[in-house]
Every structure is written in structure tokens, then in C-alpha cells.
Amino acid sequence: MNAAFTSKCSKVGSTLLRHFGNNISGILGKPCESVAKPSCNHIFSQQQQRTFIQMRTNLKVVDNSGAKRVMCIQALKGRRGARLGDTIIASVKEAQPRGKVKKGEVVYGVVVRAAMQRGRCDGSEIKFDDNAVVLVNKQGEPIGTRVFGPVPHELRKKKHVKILSLAEHIA
Amino acid sequence: MVVARWWWEEEDHDRPLDADVGWGSEGIRKYFDKHPIKNAVGDDGVRSIGRGVGFEAGLRGRRRAVTMRLEKCWFCSSTIYPGHGIQFVRNDAKIFRFCRSKCHKNFKMKRNPRKVKWTKAYRRLHGKDMTQDATFEFERKRNRPERYDRNVAENTLKAIKKIDKVRVAREARHHAMRMKGKKAIEQRAAAKELEQSIHMVKAPIALQQEPSLTLPKIKVKVSQSQAEGNMEE
């Protein structure tokens, strides 16, 4: 596992390799899906500084639309980028062979998990392990028929009830 | 079995600590045989909603979420009041709640709460705090919002005070028991030190009589005339 992990990491870059030892057990985020900004906090070098989902952020697709990985090309809201629950425009970078979505397509997606923390309505904060997205069409209806992993209940406020009802866990 | 319903968090069974503690329901049963709480709600099977009260309320559109839920910090086990702290959701949907950034940072540093001295987990593990007591059994997480009943509410509020008093008294007793032999041990240690190092101490009279025991006085010239500083070492 160690060797495979190293080879995976070597593509990502030397910045992430510094975090290699800390990330190995995989509890706190996989480095391949982490947010693109590499400025690391040297006091707590375990984790990167998490930032917004901005142009060129790679996100995992957690539905069965056929796409595996997308890259954000535009955040539809927010000056600095998208956060948990926001909608983005993305380009499909990796896709499964016979899915509804092909590689290279431009799709809409809802950010259902974000590593950057987001304030909740009561003032506390929530953050997730990775950056994940569920692909939707322009009307906001999900393309796939399943949603994997936990999603936040804030999606209800964003009128994505369908995603919530498909989700396995709601956090 | 009759249990006063309350909304406090039940102990999280995923935590390594709680496996060792081993809460038994035997004690509480005995306690309640002696001190029954009347008009409390019977403990029937709790139907798990599993999605939180706010979600449920929003789903039906019937009532707003009014329940205040007090969670426990994953790291230090202190109570998290609404609006405080941060929660981290792992990809397997396990939720880690932290009361403050101190606990969150310690978690990010992958510290084990059982090895960090200021956490409740450490104190419990090392016998510093009372662990097994019937009074702890009242703090439970219940996923069903309770229908308001004036009698039940009144009795619960009464019971809380009573239980709190009992718990504080028992904790004090536990502390007293834990500290019982401390004074004797300290005294013994002091006596031993006195015995072993008494030769380092000389009586003041002996010091006066025998000048070799003290350091010799050195006369130092001081330039200022007003004070003839007797500089002693």
C-alpha cells in the first residue's frame, strides 16, 4: 500500500509529499482530492489550509452519473469561489465507459462535501473529508440516481431536496 | 423500569474509551427501586429517526426545530452548547464534534484523548474521576422528540436537581477516598527527607561559634562614601 501511495502522490507534486507521512492513514483527507492551494501552516503541518472551490479545483463525483472526477471551471455564486452547497460549472476529467456523462463534457454540479469549513445556521461549523460534487442539470435535478456518502442538511435550503432524499447519510 | 427522559447525549459507543468503562444497568435499577420517580415516561422502544430533529421538522413542515441538543466533545467530552465548536464529518459519515479549536487541533494532530491528561477520557481511564455510577445513566440521547407534558416536565426538572446533588456528593466522596492516604504519604516523605538530610542543616549557635562553617567575610571597597556596603556572600 505504501509504494502504491507514493507513486500516486508523486504525480501530485512535491508540496503534497511533505504531507505524505501525516496523511498516510487516510483519516484526514486524501491528498489527491485536496484543495489546490498549497500554502501550509507550519505549526500544524498535518493539514493544508482549506480554501474555496475555485477554478481548476478537482472534485470527486459521488453519484452514478458516470463521471468520476470533474474540474471546476466556474463557481456560479460567490466572488472567491464556491463553498458547501453551492453550484459550480465543471468539466468532466474522468468518466466511466458507458455512463450518462462523457469525458470532456461541461456539466453543472452541487458541492455536497467540502473540506473547507462552513458556518451553520446556529453558528457552529461543519467540514468534510474531501471535495465532492453531485452532477445536476441546468434545472438543478440530479443526473444520477444515487448519491454516495454523507451530505449536509443545508442542501434543503438550496432546494436540492432530491439529493437529500437520495443520500445515504445526512450530517 | 422507569427512566426520566432527557435530551443529553448518550455516550458514543464508537469511542475506544467507553468499551472499557462498561456501564451496567444493574445499579440504576436498584437505585430506582429505592427512589422511584413518579410520572416519568416509561422506557419503551426508541424509534430511531437518525436524521436529527431539525431535518425531521423541515420534512413535515409541521413544527420548527425547537429542541436544543447538547452534544459531547469527541476529544475532551465536555458539553457542546448550540452554536459552539466545529464538527468534522468523515467519509463514512461518522461525525466528530469538537467544543473548541483546542480540541479540534489536538484531533488534527492525531492525539489520543486517552493519553492527553486534561481530557475526561484520561481521567476516567486513570481512576481520577468516578466512572461507574447510577447517576450517569440519566444522560441519554433520544432521537424522538418528546410530547410536552406538564407533569413530566415538572418532575424531570425536579429529578435533575436531585440527581445533580447526588452526583456531586458522590464525586466529592470519590475524591475524598482517592485522596485518603495522601497526607500520611506526604508526612512520611517529609520525615524521611528530614532524617536523610539533617546533616546539611546546622544550628545557628554552632555557626556562630565555629567560623569555619560559614564563608569568610570579604571586604569590598565601595567608591561611594556614604554607604559602607558590607558585601557578604
Residues of B in contact with A47 (CB under 8 A): 108
pLDDT in tens, B131-148: 888 888 888 777 888 889
Q: In this complex, which of B82, B83, B89 lies closest to A126 when CB atoms are compared?
A: B89
ipTM (interface pTM): 0.71
d(CA A24, CA A31): 9
Cβ atoms of B84 and A123 closer than 8 Å: yes
Architecture of the domain made up of A58-170: Beta Barrel (2.40)
Based on its alpha-carbon atoms, the radius of gyration of chain B, rounded to whole angstroms, reads 30
Residues B133, B172: Cα–Cα separation, whole Å: 13
- pLDDT above 70 for A8: no
List residues bridging with A134 in a β-sheet.
A110
Reported as a single tens digit per residue, the pLDDT across A83-119 is: 999 999 999 999 999 999 999 999 999 999 999 999 9
Confidence label for A164 from pLDDT (cuts 50, 70 and 90): very high
> Is A168 within 8 Å of B91 when comparing Cβ atoms?
no
Q: Where are the beta strands (DSSP E) in chain A?
A: 58-61, 67-75, 87-95, 106-113, 118-119, 125-128, 132-136, 150-151, 169-170
Q: How far apart are CA A45 and CA B110, in angstroms?
A: 12
B13-22, B68-77, B163-172: which has the minimum mean pLDDT? B13-22
The pLDDT tens digits of the residues spanning B180-202 come to 999 999 999 999 999 998 888 87
User: Looking at the partner chain, which of B80, B85, B105 has a beta carbon nearest the beta carbon of A44?
Assistant: B105
Q: Which among B65, B75, B146 has a CA at the least distance from the CA of A122?
A: B65
Q: Which residues of A touch B (CB under 8 A)?
A: 22, 25, 27-28, 44, 46-47, 113, 117, 122-130, 149-150, 152-153, 156, 168-171
d(CA B169, CA B174): 9
pLDDT exceeds cutoff 70 at B37 = no
Q: How many CA atoms lie within 13 A of B120 on its CB side?
A: 17
CA-based nearest residue in chain A for residue B55:
A153
* Residue of B145 and B4 predicted with greater confidence: B145
Q: Do A128 and B95 touch (CB under 8 A)?
A: no
Which residues, in sequence order, are CB contacts of A145 under 8 Å at separation 6+?
A63, A64, A166
The C-alpha angle B16, A50, A94, rounded to 5 degrees, equals 95
Q: Which chain B residues touch A129 with a CB distance below 8 Å?
A: 88-91
Domain residue ranges of chain A, discontinuous segments joined by +:
1-49, 58-170
How close B5 gets to chain A, by Cα (Å)? 24
What does DSSP assign to residue B65? -
